[in-house]
Amino acid sequence: MTPDLRTHLATCDRNGLLERVTRPVSPGAALARRLAEAGDRTVLFERVVGYRTPVVGGICASRAGLARALDTTPERLVHAVAAAIDAPRPWRSTRDAPFRAHVVRNPDLGRVVPVVEFYPSQRRRYLTGTIVIARRGDGVNLSFHRMMLLGGNRLAVRVTPRHLHALLAEGGGRAEVAVACGVHPALEIAASVSGPPSLDELRVGAALLRGRLECADLDGFPVPAHAELVLRGRFTGALADEGPFVDLTGTADGVRRQPVLVVDRLYHRAGWIYRTILPGGAEHKALMGIPQEPRILRIVANAVPGVAGVALTPGGCSWLHAVVAIRARAAGDGRNAGLAALAAHPSLKRVVVVDDDIDPFDAEAVEWAIATRCQPDRDLFVIPDARGSSLDPSRDPETETTAKWILDATIPFGRPREEFLRVRPDDPPGKAARRRARPRPARRPR
Ligand X SMILES: Cc1cc2nc3c(=O)[nH]c(=O)nc-3n(C[C@H](O)[C@H](O)[C@H](O)COP(=O)(O)O)c2cc1C
Q: Which residue numbers are catalytic?
A: 247
Helical axes 333-344 vs 293-303, angle rounded to 10°:
140
Smaller CB separation from ligand X, 298 or 327: 298
| Piece of the chain touching ligand X by CB under 6 A; list 11-19, 105-113, 119-127, 188-196 | 188-196
Tell whether residue 277 is a contact of ligand X (CB under 6 A). yes
Tell whether residue 192 is a contact of ligand X (CB under 6 A). yes
Residue numbers 315-354 binding ligand X by CB under 6 A: none
Residue numbers 394-413 binding ligand X by CB under 6 A: none
User: In what helix (H) or strand (E) does residue 260 lie, and over which residues does it extend?
Assistant: strand 256-268
Q: At its nearest, how many Å lie between ligand X and the CB of residue 237?
A: 18
Q: At its nearest, how many Å lie between ligand X and the CB of residue 286?
A: 8
Tell whether residue 288 is a contact of ligand X (CB under 6 A). yes
Helix (H, G, I), strand (E, B) or coil at 350: strand
Q: At its nearest, how many Å lie between ligand X and the CB of residue 445?
A: 39
Report in angstroms the alpha-carbon separations of 48 from 25, 52, 57, 274, 309.
5, 7, 13, 10, 41
**∠ at Cα 99 (186, 107), nearest 5°?**
115
Residue numbers 119-178 binding ligand X by CB under 6 A: 141, 143-146, 158-160, 162-164
**Number of residues forming the site for ligand X (CB under 6 A):** 18
Report d(CA 327, CA 315) in Å as an integer: 24
In the shown chain, the binding pattern of residues 39 to 58 toward ligand X, with x for contact by CB under 6 A and - for none, equals --------------------
Q: At its nearest, how many Å lie between ligand X and the CB of residue 291?
A: 7
Q: At its nearest, how many Å lie between ligand X and the CB of residue 405?
A: 23
Tell whether residue 287 is a contact of ligand X (CB under 6 A). yes
Closest CA to 316 of 292, 337, 335, 340: 292
Instruction: State the amino acid at position 346 in one-letter form.
Output: P
Report d(CA 217, CA 202) in Å as an integer: 13
Report in angstroms the alpha-carbon separations of 431 from 330, 423, 440.
25, 9, 16
Q: At its nearest, how many Å lie between ligand X and the CB of residue 351?
A: 19
Q: At its nearest, how many Å lie between ligand X and the CB of residue 276?
A: 10
Smaller CB separation from ligand X, 164 or 354: 164
Smaller CB separation from ligand X, 195 or 332: 195
Answer whether 336's CB lies under 8 Å from 358's CB. no
Smaller CB separation from ligand X, 98 or 294: 294
Smaller CB separation from ligand X, 243 or 412: 243
Smaller CB separation from ligand X, 136 or 212: 136
Interface pick for ligand X out of 194, 236, 251, 390 (rule CB under 6 A): 194
CA atoms within 13 A on the CB side of 66: 28
| Residue 371, Cβ density class (10 Å: 0-12 exposed, 13-18 middle, ≥19 buried) | exposed
Strand 147-151 and strand 126-127: pairing? antiparallel
In the shown chain, the binding pattern of residues 222 to 261 toward ligand X, with x for contact by CB under 6 A and - for none, equals ----------------------------------------
Smaller CB separation from ligand X, 148 or 307: 148
Answer whether 148's CB lies under 8 Å from 245's CB. yes
Report d(CA 373, CA 334) in Å as an integer: 12
- The residues that touch ligand X, with contacts defined as CB under 6 A, are 141, 143-146, 158-160, 162-164, 192-194, 277, 284, 287-288
